[in-house]
Amino acid sequence: MDRIQEAYRIERDLAHRLRSAPKEFRTQTVRAVYADLYRRVHWHPDLTRSLEERRRRVAELRFAYGRWISSAGSVLEIGAGSCDFLAELALDYPGKRLAGIDVARDPLLSAASSLPANVQFTQAAASAIPYRNGSFDFVFCSQVLEHFHPDDVPDHMAEVARVLRSDGWFGFDTPNRITGPHDISRGFTPEATGLHLKEWTFEELLVLLLENGFRTVLARSVPGRAARWLRLPAPGPLVDARRKIAIERRVARIQHVGRRRLLGRLLGLNGIYLYAQRSNR
C-alpha cells in the first residue's frame, strides 16, 4: 500500500504540473512529466508488463479495430508507445502503410528501434499530427485520450479528421468517467486526479466528434469481453452512439458508487469504444 500511495502522490503532482502548463509549452511538459514518472516510479506497469500481457493487449486491439484495419490501405496509431501492435500488423499486412506517433520517447520507444520496413514511427503530439491532409484510411488510439490535456482534445479530433481521407474512419477507446476513476487515484479521490487528466463520457465525446469533422458515430452495443465469449464477429454489434447516451444518463444518476460501477459494467459503459466516420468536405 505504501508503494501505491507513493505512486499516487507522484502522479497527482505531475498531473497538476500538466494541467497548469501553458498550451505553447504543453508538449515538452508532457515529455518531461512522463520521463520523470518512469524514473521515480520504476515499477510502473508500462515498464514491467510481461510478454503475455503485451500479447493479450495486441489481441484486444485486433478485436476492437481489426475490422477497419483489414480494409484500410494506410493506418495511423496515435499513442503507439513501443509499437507492439503495429509490428504485428506489419507481419500480417506487408503491403499496408502503417504509422505511429507518440509524444513520449523514452522508455516506450526503446522497443521500437527495429520496426518492420512498412512501419514508420514519429515522435509528435496528437494535436499537431505531422502528416498531410488525407494521408490515412483509418486512424485509431487506445487508452490515450484520457491522458490528453482536456483543452487539446478538440484540436486532436480536428487533426485526425484532417489527416483522414474522405469517408475514412477514426476508432478509439477510453474509460468512462461514470464508472471511474480508472487511474491510480481510484480509492483516493472520487474523480481522476492522477495522469488521467480527464475521463470522458459518451455524451461529451459525441458532441466533440460532431463539432470537429465527423458525422456517423457508432458504439459497441456489447462489451468486448462478452462479445469475444459469445464469439461474435469483431468488434461485436455496433449501434448509433446516441443510444448509449440515454443509458449513460440514467446510470450516472445512481448515487451509490458501487452500484453505479456494477451497472455501468453490465451495460457496457465501463469502456467507451467509438467509431466515427469523417465528414465529406
Q: Would you state the pLDDT for residue 8? A: 97
Domain that holds residue 257: 52-278
Is there a domain that residue 40 lies in? no
Give the three cell numbers for residue 177: 468517467
Is there a domain that residue 73 lies in? yes
Please list, in sequence order, all residues whose beta carbon lies within 8 angstroms of the beta carbon of residue 189, skipping any fewer than 6 positions away: 181
Is there a domain that residue 199 lies in? yes
Is there a domain that residue 70 lies in? yes
Count other Cβ atoms within 10 Å, centred on residue 281. 7
Interval 41-81: pLDDT, tens: 999 988 888 889 989 999 999 999 999 999 999 999 999 98
Q: Would you state the pLDDT for residue 279? A: 87
Whole-angstrom CA distances from 144 to 22, 81, 101, 140, 266 are 20, 10, 12, 10, 23
Please list, in sequence order, all residues whose beta carbon lies within 8 angstroms of the beta carbon of residue 61, skipping any fewer than 6 positions away: 85, 142
* Structural domains in the chain (count): 1
279: DSSP letter = P
Separation between Cα atoms, residue 127 and residue 145, nearest integer Å: 11
CATH number, residue 222: 3.40.50.150
Is there a domain that residue 111 lies in? yes
Q: Which residues of the chain have pLDDT under 50?
A: none
Predicted model pTM: 0.94
Say how many CA atoms lie within 13 Å of 257 toward its Cβ. 8
Is there a domain that residue 17 lies in? no
